[in-house]
């Protein structure tokens, strides 16, 4: 394509020309097929990740078998967790999974470190990403602890639908999204259906009345 990928990152476009050039020349573009475990317990990444296309789901699977989705990384975002891991040599408890085919720019550890050392604006980018991630986690803790599940479910349905009018997912998967039980999801969805907001079929949910769903979801502060 005509435009180099750096320009499409809100935070990176502001970098000095020299820094951009280094990012471009020292990174490699890689295609990652859907379903790939990008990082996780035992899988330590060697590169910092800039997502050009696709989505990465970061989730936690506890030893009790419980599951919860922590956040997603979309095109135009970088994965700070990878960064933290890169520089601190720490394994994390969470795992990152390519939710679709992904195209990403990979910056090797040394280059990353060098960029942080030499470019003040790159430092700004990295720390802003950390800051964003941490405040998002705070928000998430608040929601898990205090938000009603119907509100969270409505919100997640809308988010997952991505302007389509239906979502291809199972009750079990939705439970994993919100960190709750399948039965709870089933009950809530039955109620949504009773109100005429959705239609259900096996492995699929049609958003019939998106407005009402959004109204409920908006309660989440």
Partner DNA sequence: AGAGTACGGTGACAAAGTCACCGACGCGTT
Partner DNA sequence: AACGCGTCGGTGACTTTGTCACCGTACTCT
- CA 31, CA 34: separation in Å to the nearest integer? 10
- Touching DNA, residues 187-216 (CB under 7 A): 187-190, 200, 202-204
Pick one of 145, 163, 194, 202: the residue that binds a copy of itself (CB under 8 A): 145
DSSP codes, 8-49: GSTTTTTS-HHHHHHHHHH-EEEEE-TT-EEEBTTB--SEEE
Residue whose C-alpha is closest to residue 155's, from 205, 207, 216 = 216
88 contributes a contact to a copy of itself by CB under 8 A: yes
- Touching a copy of itself, residues 90-129 (CB under 8 A): 90, 92-94, 113, 116-118, 120, 123-124, 127-128
Give yes or no for a contact between 196 and 161, defined as CB atoms under 8 angstroms apart. Answer: no
The nearer residue to DNA, 111 or 150, going by C-beta atoms, is 150
130 contributes a contact to a copy of itself by CB under 8 A: yes
Show the site string, 27-66: x = touches a copy of itself by CB under 8 A, - = not: ---------------------------------x-xxx-x
Instruction: Kindly provide the b/e burial profile for residues 22-43, where b requires at least 16 CB atoms within 10 angstroms of the residue's own CB.
Output: bbeebbeeeebeeeeebbbeee
Give yes or no for a contact between 167 and 157, defined as CB atoms under 8 angstroms apart. Answer: yes
Partner whose binding site includes residue 70, from a copy of itself, DNA, none (CB under 5 to 8 Å by kind): a copy of itself
The nearer residue to DNA, 109 or 187, going by C-beta atoms, is 187
> What is the binding site for DNA (CB under 7 A)?
66, 145-146, 148-150, 170-172, 179-184, 186-190, 200, 202-204
């Amino acid at each position: 394509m005509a435009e180099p990928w750096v320009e499409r990152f809100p935070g990176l476009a502001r970098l000095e020309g020299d820094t951009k050039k280094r990012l471009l020349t020292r990174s490699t573009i890689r295609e990652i097929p859907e379903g790939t475990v990008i990082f996780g317990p035992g899988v330590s990444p060697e590169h910092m990740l800039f997502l050009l296309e696709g989505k990465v789901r970061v989730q936690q699977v506890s030893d009790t078998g419980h599951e919860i989705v922590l956040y997603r990384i979309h095109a135009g975002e970088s994965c700070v967790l990878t960064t933290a891991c890169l520089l601190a040599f720490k394994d994390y408890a969470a795992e990152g999974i390519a939710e679709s085919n992904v195209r990403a720019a990979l910056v090797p550890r040394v280059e990353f470190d060098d960029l942080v050392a030499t470019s003040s604006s790159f430092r700004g980018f990295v720390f802003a990403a950390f800051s964003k991630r941490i405040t998002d986690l705070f928000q998430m803790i608040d929601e898990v602890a205090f938000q009603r599940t119907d509100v969270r479910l409505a919100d997640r349905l809308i988010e997952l639908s991505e302007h389509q009018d239906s979502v291809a997912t199972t009750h079990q998967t939705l439970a994993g999204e919100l960190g709750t039980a399948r039965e709870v999801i089933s009950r809530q969805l039955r109620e949504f259906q009773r109100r005429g907001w959705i239609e259900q079929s096996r492995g699929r949910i049609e958003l019939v009345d998106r407005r009402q769903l959004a109204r409920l979801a908006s309660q989440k502060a």
